[in-house]
Amino acid sequence: MDAENTGWASRLMAILRYPAQLVGLNLLIVLGTVVGGVVLGLFPALRAGAALLDALRRGTPSETLVRTFVAHYREDFWRSNLLGVPFWVLGALAVVDLQVFRVAAQAGDAFGSALLLPFVVVVTIAGVALIYLAALGTRVREGVWATWRFVFVAPFAWLGTTIGVVLVLGAFLVGTWQLPWLVPLLGFSGPLFLALTLVGPRLDATLEPADEPALDTH
């Protein structure tokens, strides 16, 4: 009887580890972003969080969550920020477009609503490419240009996976709209984990072994 109880307890702890790590990693991503002053902290934090979320997806969660996160955060800190430059540019363009849309809407411009389309397109492309960048994570270390080319081309080459990512992210946004308390718990880690379950296996099946990395979308 004791062995049976111990077995159930072990399985329960294994199940609870997933939500616990999701919440813990969400907090670590937020803290890592803040520590880096947001601009310099976001992409190293996302890289570190994605590496641990991918391990969780594989069923091998880290036993030293904080220590491993910090190690990934420090590793390639400046390279992670360099890889994030296009996303900051796209984010700035999206903000400008949204402001123009608001001004046009307030002025009663009949064509103002058309200005919202570029905003949606830019945000969608940037969001999906960011997922691919996070999924690429520590799998492959290629040049900055090669990495940029991959994360912005792969979503169009792998349309099935990309559509799945967009649907998952959209569903999560709808869920947080209905249940806003999920945002502080899973705002970063939740959608990242769900998207990694789609992109991660595709990358694993496509990328060559670590000793001969190749970023190819064919």
pLDDT tens digit string along 10-56? 565 566 778 899 999 999 999 999 999 999 999 999 999 999 999 99
**Which of 59, 2, 49 shows the shortest CA–CA distance to 23?**
49
More confidently predicted of 167 and 8: 167
Map out the domains of the chain as residue ranges.
Answer: 2-206
The pTM for the full model equals: 0.85
Measure the CA–CA gap between 18 and 125, rounded to whole angstroms.
29
Q: How large is the average pLDDT for residues 165-172? A: 92
**Which of 160, 189, 152, 173 shows the shortest CA–CA distance to 55?**
189
Residue reference for tokens 């077995």: 7
Q: What is the pLDDT of residues 127-167, one digit of tens each?
A: 999 999 999 887 877 889 999 999 999 999 999 999 999 99
Measure the CA–CA gap between 46 and 188, rounded to whole angstroms.
8
